[in-house]
């Protein structure tokens, strides 16, 4: 059976045009939708719905308008992983503020476009609910790029991901890691109900009230401040991005569900750095990543599989 492959940070390498003014996320509360007859799409966003509804009576929609919403609005975006029967493809719920084109026959995709960005936000934030099936994980990510002539450079990347069931509207935060000193000109935001190649039908992600944060400085009482983690499932590595206001002594350890330490990183004093923990060879299961930093402890649960 063909699968549409996971679209992580590679989805976010986009080009665009610079406009003057504040960076705006289009239709960030998902209040406005366009009805195309057999499906609807949120204004300012693209989904796989058009391609998936080409065949009458067989088409499906993996993104729909939901009355289950956060805050003062009336709607949210509901993303659901579904099975498309002809040709047989498992498709995640997927939204992007770029342009998504899917080739159903080849099981491939093409992502272009984006929206202008004229500043450098520190976080993508918003609210979500998640109901995973069979070990699924979701992702909500942002990519910032700059195009000079024919060359497109990645300026910043950020993503939030979880495998946990989240039954109530809950805030999320994706810290943006800037890997270039250049100012970006294009932004893309994506969200996926399933962020891995092996999908489980019925996984549902709700997204609402997205916004960009420009927080400057650190909350000394927040153990997660300055820590961003990306699970690179293709290379079986946890990528740990550290960016502290001042150098801190850290200890990084990975524990299995029994509390046994299975991997660690040499203790070090860091201010801005990247650390890597490889988990290839570990049995599939739940693991706890723990980062001790001065007098604070940060921990996050992961379901790691091979």
Q: Which domains does the chain have, with CATH numbers?
A: 2-213 (2.60.120.890), 227-304 (2.60.40.3080)
Are 46 and 101 spatial neighbours (Cβ–Cβ below 8 Å)? no
Burial class (CB in 10 A: 0-12, 13-18, 19+), 23: middle
- Identify the weakest region by mean pLDDT among 91-95, 189-193, 275-279, 291-295: 291-295
Determine the Cα–Cα distance for residues 192 and 263; give it in Å rounded to an integer: 30
pLDDT in tens, 147-168: 998 888 888 888 888 888 999 9
Which position has the higher pLDDT, 184 or 109? 184
Determine the Cα–Cα distance for residues 194 and 13; give it in Å rounded to an integer: 20
Determine the Cα–Cα distance for residues 24 and 118; give it in Å rounded to an integer: 9
Q: Which string of b and e fits 242-252 if b means at least 16 CB within 10 Å? A: bbbeeebebeb
Are 123 and 212 spatial neighbours (Cβ–Cβ below 8 Å)? yes
Are 262 and 284 spatial neighbours (Cβ–Cβ below 8 Å)? no
Kindly give, in sequence order, each residue whose CB lies less than 8 Å from that of residue 50, ignoring residues fewer than 6 positions away: 36, 39, 41
294: left (phi over 0), alpha (psi -120 to 50) or beta: left
Q: Which of 200, 203, 151 is nearest to 180 (CA)?
A: 151
Output the pLDDT for position 173.
85
Alpha-helical segments (H) within the chain: 49-52
Taking the whole predicted model, whether its pTM rises above 0.95 is answered as no
Does residue 2 carry a pLDDT above 60? no
Confidence of residue 253 (pLDDT cuts 50, 70, 90): very high
Does residue 10 carry a pLDDT above 70? no
pLDDT in tens, 122-142: 889 999 999 999 889 999 999
Does residue 43 carry a pLDDT above 80? yes
pLDDT in tens, 75-103: 999 999 998 877 788 889 999 998 887 77
Output the pLDDT for position 295.
75
The torsion angles phi and psi of 226, rounded to 5 degrees, stand at 85, 5
Kindly give, in sequence order, each residue whose CB lies less than 8 Å from that of residue 150, ignoring residues fewer than 6 positions away: none
Q: Which of 189, 215, 184, 176 is nearest to 128 (CA)?
A: 189
Determine the Cα–Cα distance for residues 131 and 116; give it in Å rounded to an integer: 32
Output the pLDDT for position 30.
98
DSSP 8-state secondary structure symbol assigned to residue 160: E
Please provide the distance, in angstroms rounded to a whole number, between the alpha carbons at the two ends of the chain: 20
Does residue 9 carry a pLDDT above 60? no
Determine the Cα–Cα distance for residues 63 and 192; give it in Å rounded to an integer: 10
CA distances, 280 to each of 165, 178, 197 (Å): 25, 27, 17
Does residue 17 carry a pLDDT above 60? no
Which position has the higher pLDDT, 70 or 286? 70
Q: Vertex 31, ends 136 and 19: CA angle to 5°?
A: 95
């Amino acid at each position: 059976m063909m699968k549409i492959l996971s679209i992580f940070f590679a989805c976010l390498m986009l080009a665009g045009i610079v406009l003057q003014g504040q960076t705006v996320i289009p239709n960030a509360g998902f209040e406005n939708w366009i009805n195309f007859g057999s499906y609807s799409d949120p204004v300012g966003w693209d989904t796989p719905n058009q391609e998936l509804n080409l065949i009458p009576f067989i088409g499906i929609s993996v993104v729909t308008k939901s009355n289950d919403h956060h805050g003062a609005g009336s709607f949210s975006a509901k993303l659901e992983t579904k099975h498309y029967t002809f040709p047989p493809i498992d498709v995640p719920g997927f939204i992007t503020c770029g342009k998504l084109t899917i080739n159903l026959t080849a099981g491939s995709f093409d992502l272009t476009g984006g929206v202008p960005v004229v500043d450098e936000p520190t976080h993508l934030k918003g609210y979500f609910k998640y109901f995973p099936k069979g070990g699924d994980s979701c992702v909500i990510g942002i990519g910032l790029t700059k195009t000079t002539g024919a060359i497109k450079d990645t300026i910043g990347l950020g993503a939030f991901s979880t495998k946990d069931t989240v039954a109530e509207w809950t805030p999320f935060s994706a810290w943006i890691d800037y890997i270039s000193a250049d100012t970006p000109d294009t932004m893309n935001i994506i969200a996926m109900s399933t962020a891995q190649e092996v999908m489980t039908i019925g996984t549902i992600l709700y997204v609402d009230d997205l916004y960009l944060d420009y927080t400057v400085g650190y909350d000394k009482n927040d153990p997660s401040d300055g820590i961003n983690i990306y699970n690179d499932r293709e290379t079986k590595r946890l990528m740990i991005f550290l960016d502290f206001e001042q150098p801190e002594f850290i200890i990084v350890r990975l524990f299995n569900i029994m509390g046994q330490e299975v991997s660690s990183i040499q203790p070090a004093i860091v201010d801005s750095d990247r650390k890597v923990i490889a988990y290839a060879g570990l049995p599939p299961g739940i693991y706890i990543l723990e980062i001790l930093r001065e007098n604070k402890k940060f921990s996050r649960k992961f379901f790691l599989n091979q």
